[in-house]
Every structure is written in structure tokens, then in C-alpha cells.
Chains A and B, each alone.
Chain A
Amino acid sequence: MTAGTGNALTRALGAATIVAVAITAWLGLVVSPPDQTQGQLVRLLYIHPAAATACYVGFGLCALASLAYLWPRTRSRRWDRLAAASAEVGVVFCVITLVTGSIWGRGSWGVWWTWDARLTLTALLLAVFIGYLALRRTGGDPEPRAKRSAVVAVVCALLVPVDHEATTWWQTLHQGNTLFRPNPLIHGLQLWSMLLSFVAYGLLFTWLLIHRYRVEVLEDRFEEEGFAAAIAERRAEGSGPATAPAVAAADGPVMEVPASEGEKTP
């Protein structure tokens, strides 16, 4: 086992991500011109929509992996790990979306926050997926916990299309679609900078997801090793001289418990 979660693939992907982010920053902050109506604030366009898209992809992937876990034919621990990893990365991009959106709102609308349908639904999306991650941390057997989490993920992800279509279905302060419409609102260098930001965020999302997925694999192995060591120690206790009892911590290796504390346990 390597010491961390990296290998040749992640190093190459990481290098490509750094190059793409650097070019996006150079185009977005230096080369592309200010907008006629938004002025310098248009430079937030090269971070905010791509972050929102990465957040939707993360939550959508979490729902798809959860469905694959719930389906008996495709049930595998891998899908559960992918759901956990993509939800966490999605939450990070959702936070970026809300923070940059709030800053943009203050600059263009004059307020940090307003109870607009798009903003409120994005905040709700963040709240429900933080709840999902909290649910995953509850104790109990891994399989029922994974099933329970998968059902919750599928229900939570129903908010994604509602949030995306909020600017179409309701009157909102938030602007509608910039790119995918008959007459796109931006052209030339602004358009290319924005498209490149999607590529950069896509690479970053994939790189983070691979590392986060591997952390899940290591955590599972750690838990298994912890339980195996605890069982081996118990067996050794039965055949050898009396020693302090050992228990497996919920998230760690074997822990020594003082004899007096161990005796109190019914």
C-alpha cells in the first residue's frame, strides 16, 4: 500500500488541473475585458457557474451511485464509497457557489443575501447534503447504514433539477441561463474564458474525487484491520495470562482499557 492516495494518474491529473486553473485565472483576471453592464464583476463569471455545475455533478453522481448500490444486481461497497466521496466534494463546491454568489450579489444587487428561489434552493441543497454526510457518520452495521444513506441521497438529489430550473419556473433576481439559450449572453474572449473555467473545474473535481474515494478505501481497510486486531487480541487473552481488556474503537485501532473501567461494563 502506498503511503497516501496519489499515484501516476493523480499526479498527471493534478498537473493538468494546475495548468488549466492558471490559464483560467490569467484569462479571467487579466486578458478578458470588463463587461458593459457588470463591469469588473464579470470576472466572477469564471468561478461561480463552474462551481455550481461541479456541485450539481457531485450530488447527481452521489444519487446515481446510491441507486447502483440499492439495485441488488449492482450492489457493491464501491458504489457506496463513490456516493460518499462525490457528496463531500459536491458540498465543497456548493459552499464555493454560495460564497462567490453572495459576494457577486453584494456587488451587483447591493445585498449579501436575499430569499430568492435559486439562492434559497442552493442553500437548502447544501443543508440536506451536509445532513446526508452526518447520517453516514452514524454508528451501526455498515450495510444497513449504506442502504439508509443511499435512500436519503436519492431523495436529496431530487432538489438538483428543481434548483437548476428555479430561474425558469419562478421570477428570480438571479439571472437565467447564460450559455444554453438561442442567443448566448456572452461572446468572444469572455465565452472562451468561461468554457475553460468549466474544463478547469471538471479536472479539479475529478482529481479531488479520486483522492477522496481512496480515502474511503483506506478508512474501510483501517476499520477492518482494527476489528481483526481486536479479535486476535481477545483470543490471545483467552489463552494467555490475564491482561487489560482491549476494545476496537469505532474509528480507530485497538485501544487499551483500564481493568477497573472494563469491569464496570455490564
Chain B
Amino acid sequence: MNGYVAGGWGATAAIIVLYTWRTLRRGRVLGRSLPPGEKTWR
């Protein structure tokens, strides 16, 4: 595997992991700050 392949796969993994972490964290923070109510999804 050469450097370009490693760079391409590495950059893809980094972008996906960062975005996933940000989205899940945003959901968790918002979910916690809302008062307990009906479940929207089970």
C-alpha cells in the first residue's frame, strides 16, 4: 500500500469518525437538556 492510498483511506475514516462523533454528541446533549416526555423513537 502506498502513501496516497493510506492518505485517502485515512482521510475518509477521519472525516466519517469526526462527523459521527459530532452528530451523536449533539443528539445526546439535546436529548439530556429536554424535559422527559414521550418517546419519539424506540
Contact = CB atoms under 8 A, between A and B. Distances in A.
Interface stretch (A93-101, A159-167, A171-179, A234-242): A93-101
A50 B11 CA distance: 15
B8 A44 contact: yes
Contacts of A95: 15
Contacts of A2: 31, 39-41
Contacts of A145: none
Interface in B9-36: 9, 11-12, 15-16, 19-20, 23-24, 26-28, 30-36
Nearest to B42: A7
Contact of A107 (B2, B15, B24, B40): B2
B8 A3 contact: no
Contacts of A118: none
A1 interface: yes
Contacts of A77: none
Range class of the A interface residue count? 35 or more
Nearest to B10: A103
Contact of B4 (A3, A104, A215): A104
A208 B20 contact: yes
B40 A215 contact: no
A236 B41 CA distance: 34
A47 B12 contact: yes
Contact of B35 (A100, A103, A219, A225): A225
A215 B19 contact: no
B21 to A, nearest CB: 11
B15 A222 contact: no
Nearest to A229: B35
B5 A222 contact: no
Interface in A1-34: 1-9, 25, 29
Contacts of A48: 8
A25 B23 CA distance: 24
Interface of B: 1-2, 4-5, 7-9, 11-12, 15-16, 19-20, 23-24, 26-28, 30-42
Given A1-B40, A4-B24, 13 more contacts: A5-B23, A7-B41, A40-B5, A43-B5, A43-B8, A43-B9, A96-B12, A99-B11, A100-B12, A104-B8, A214-B27, A215-B23, A222-B30
Chain A to chain B: the 9 pairs with minimum beta-carbon distance, closest first = A5-B27, A107-B4, A218-B30, A4-B28, A3-B31, A103-B8, A100-B8, A43-B5, A4-B27
